[in-house]
Amino acid sequence: MIDFNIEKIVPICESFGLTLDDTAKARLNTYGNMLVEWNEKMNLTAITEPEEVLYKHFLDCLLFFKNVDVKQGAKVIDVGTGAGFPGMVLKIARPDIELTLMDGLNKRLIFLNAVLDELKLEAKTVHSRAEDGGKNNEYREKYDIACARAVANLPVLCEYCIPFVKVGGQFVAMKGSAASEELAAAGNAYKILGCEKATIICENLRENEARAFIIAKKVSQTPPKYPRMGGKIAKSAL
């Protein structure tokens, strides 16, 4: 079994008020092992070296709690969750979160359900494209937070994610070094879809590893015509 040395990031988490107890540390380590093991038979991540997983996956996701106010029992949807980032990490650190993991590829959800079962955690997994899920009344405007990491350019991502957020909730996009440029191009999308102007918070995982959280509060309902269907979102971003 690989040791992902979770202890190395504990002081960083404690510096912004997040405590990783023994259960959380063990669960992160198990998750990392399952990620590496399953990655041998399906494409889940290009990052498999333990130190890289620790920082580029685990710490990257845990910084969410430094920059986003996640209330007790918050309803969170991770749109295009992939291998479970950030949603699974958020749930491990804060089991009180009511989590939905949505992805368009069912094989990823098979992996995530296996992880949830192994870690004895509960979350809803939904096999759906974001634009279909955003039209579904079961999920539309039902969440305190919609988040996404490494899914699409921000103007497109806004249309994928904002329809899931209830008025008063937040859309959180996790981005890399081009975050400022993406945000500059997405102002119209935020406005049309019901959010106020977004703020950007920049972080460094390690030296020269830029990360950013782009956070916007939803202040009005998303017009019923959004999200659009098919390839319209990507072909003519708002």
How high does pLDDT run on average in the chain? 95
Of the candidates 99, 118, 98, the one whose C-alpha atom is nearest the C-alpha of residue 27 is 118
pTM: 0.96
Helices (H) and strands (E) in the chain, counts: 11, 7
Give the pLDDT band of residue 2 (cuts 50, 70, 90): very high
Residue 209 pLDDT:
85
Is 228's pLDDT higher than 90?
A: yes
Region of residue 194 (phi > 0: left; psi between -120 and 50: alpha; otherwise: beta): left
| Domain 59-235 belongs in CATH node 3.40.50.1970 | no
CA distance linking residue 204 with residue 216, whole number of Å = 21
Here the tokens at position 181 are 């440029």
Give the pLDDT band of residue 55 (cuts 50, 70, 90): very high
Is 81's pLDDT higher than 90?
A: yes
Q: Cα angle vertex 24, ends 22, 28, to 5°?
A: 120
